[in-house]
């Protein structure tokens, strides 16, 4: 027999008839700064930014914030430098961190080195299909693919990760000698320098601002300091 008695609406905590709850919306609360108690917010770092700290200057009409951080992206600055950027412009630097020309330059340099290896006789390339062969006329790509597959299986059996150069151990003695000679040639300073001279680094710089024209400038006197030391130095400058 069913009952028409409803859960009481007062005098205790009535049991919920289902598990549905009100949706929860999370939003970042804007920090409030009091002239009496100071700032009541905790600093939250960002892994994309690295070492950093923020200076807040609050007044009755506006609040200004500046972020002190290590150089971001392509700057030409020493890694131990500190840069001061208006906090609102930091996302610009993060978004423009990588040089869009890097991938093309790396590929051009790699092609340059391989052409040098062909000219030196360390490998040959078939004009029809582009297949690369060792001086013994053995196909390099398929041999390396097999060696990498064997290295992967060996690592799987041993329940370990595959080391980057593990495939070399799965080449025959003859192919290993040819591969080692080729790698030594490609990695030689002379060959790498020739590729870099033919395809130099771009002049790209990671800049901020709407027009991407604001360079990152090192703050004088802070280079080489840790974050805590830099914070203290900025504090002393403001209040000295």
Binning pLDDT at 50, 70 and 90, where does residue 48 land?
confident
37 assigned to some structural domain: no
179 in the same domain as 109: yes
Helix (H, G, I), strand (E, B) or coil at 56: strand
190 in the same domain as 106: yes
Mean pLDDT, the chain, as a whole number? 86
178 in the same domain as 62: no
pTM: 0.66
224 in the same domain as 140: no
* Residues in the chain, overall count: 240
pLDDT: which is higher, 30 or 110: 110
Range 71-82 average pLDDT: 95
79 in the same domain as 134: no
| Residues spanned by the domain of 145 | 102-198
217 assigned to some structural domain: yes
Cβ of 113: how many Cβ atoms within 10 Å?
Answer: 19
231 assigned to some structural domain: yes
173 in the same domain as 124: yes
143 in the same domain as 72: no
39 assigned to some structural domain: no
188 in the same domain as 170: yes
130 assigned to some structural domain: yes
User: SS3 sequence, 67-88?
Assistant: EEECCCCCCCCCCCCCEEEEHH
Which backbone phi and psi does 131 adopt, to 5 degrees? -65, 135
Which backbone phi and psi does 53 adopt, to 5 degrees? -155, 160
112 assigned to some structural domain: yes
CA–CA separation, 10 vs 13, rounded Å?
A: 8
4 assigned to some structural domain: no
Helix (H, G, I), strand (E, B) or coil at 29: coil
Is pLDDT above 60 for 104?
yes
At 9 the pLDDT is: 45
pLDDT in tens, 168-183: 999 999 999 999 999 9
182 in the same domain as 109: yes
At 73 the pLDDT is: 94
194 in the same domain as 115: yes
171 in the same domain as 57: no
At 26 the pLDDT is: 55
119 in the same domain as 106: yes
The tally of domains found in the chain comes to: 2
Binning pLDDT at 50, 70 and 90, where does residue 23 land?
low
Cα–Cα distances in Å, from 41 out to 129, 157, 164, 238?
63, 51, 45, 21
Is pLDDT above 50 for 12?
no
157 assigned to some structural domain: yes
At 45 the pLDDT is: 74
């Amino acid at each position: 027999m069913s009952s028409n008695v409803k859960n009481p609406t007062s005098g205790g905590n009535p049991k919920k008839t289902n598990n549905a709850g009100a949706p929860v919306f999370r939003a970042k609360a804007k920090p409030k700064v009091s002239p009496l108690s100071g700032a009541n917010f905790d600093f939250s770092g960002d892994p994309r930014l690295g070492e950093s700290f923020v200076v807040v200057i609050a007044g009755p009409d506006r609040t200004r914030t500046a972020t002190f951080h290590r150089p971001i992206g392509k700057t030409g600055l020493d890694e131990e430098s500190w840069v001061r950027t208006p906090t609102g412009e930091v996302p610009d630097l993060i978004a423009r961190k990588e040089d869009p020309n890097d991938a093309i330059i790396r590929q051009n340099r790699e092609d340059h080195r391989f052409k040098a290896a062909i000219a030196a006789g360390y490998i040959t390339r078939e004009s029809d299909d582009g297949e690369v062969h060792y001086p013994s006329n053995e196909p390099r790509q398929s041999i390396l693919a097999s060696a990498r597959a064997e290295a992967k299986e060996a690592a799987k059996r041993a329940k370990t990760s595959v080391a980057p150069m593990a495939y070399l151990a799965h080449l025959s003695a003859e192919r290993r000698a040819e591969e080692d000679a080729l790698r030594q040639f490609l990695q030689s300073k002379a060959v790498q320098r020739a590729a870099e001279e033919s395809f130099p680094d771009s002049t790209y710089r990671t800049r901020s601002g709407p027009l991407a024209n604001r360079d990152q400038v090192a703050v004088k006197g802070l280079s080489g300091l840790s974050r805590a030391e830099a914070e203290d130095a900025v504090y002393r400058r403001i209040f000295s």
